[in-house]
C-alpha cells in the first residue's frame, strides 16, 4: 500500500514503513492496517517516523497495536528516526520505555 501518508520497502527479512505528514483520526486506520499487514508477512517491521509533523492519540494507538501484535506473534516491531514532535509525545506518555527505538 502506498499513499501520501505511508510508503514501505520490504525484503525477506524486514519491512520498513515510512510515515510522513500528520497522523490523526482521519488516517490512523490506514497506518494501523499497513503495520498489521506488514507484521503478518515480515519477521521485523520498522516504522520510520522522521517525516511525521503531528501525531495524535489515534496514531499512537496504531503504533501500540502494532507492538502488541508483534509481541503476541513472535515478531519484532521497532520505531526509528522519531521526529521531534513524535519523540516528545512518546516520551510524555513514557512509551519510550515500551517501544524499541532506533535512531
- 1 pLDDT higher than 50: no
* CATH architecture, domain 6-102: 2-Layer Sandwich (3.30)
Residue 2 has pLDDT above 50, yes or no: no
As a whole-number percent, the residues of the chain with pLDDT over 70 amount to 97
Beta-bridge partner residues of 42:
none
- pLDDT-derived band at 72, boundaries 50, 70, 90: very high
Residue with cell 499512537: 60
Q: Is the pLDDT of residue 78 over 80?
A: yes
Q: Is the pTM of this model over 0.85?
A: yes
Q: Where are the alpha helices (DSSP H) in the chain?
A: 28-41, 57-72, 84-92
Does position 3 have pLDDT exceeding 90, yes or no? no
pLDDT, mean over the chain: 95
H-only helix segments in 8-83? 28-41, 57-72
Amino acid at each position: 500500500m502506498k499513499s501520501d501518508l505511508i510508503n514501505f520497502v520490504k525484503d525477506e527479512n524486514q519491512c520498513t514503513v515510512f510515515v510522513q505528514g500528520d497522523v490523526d483520526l482521519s488516517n490512523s486506520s490506514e497506518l494501523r492496517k499497513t503495520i498489521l499487514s506488514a507484521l503478518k508477512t515480515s519477521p521485523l517491521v520498522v516504522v520510520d517516523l522522521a517525516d511525521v509533523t503531528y501525531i495524535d492519540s489515534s496514531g499512537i494507538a496504531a503504533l501500540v497495536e502494532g507492538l502488541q501484535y508483534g509481541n503476541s506473534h513472535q515478531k519484532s516491531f521497532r520505531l526509528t528516526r522519531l521526529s521531534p514532535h513524535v519523540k516528545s509525545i512518546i516520551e510524555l506518555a513514557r512509551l519510550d520505555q515500551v517501544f524499541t527505538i532506533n535512531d
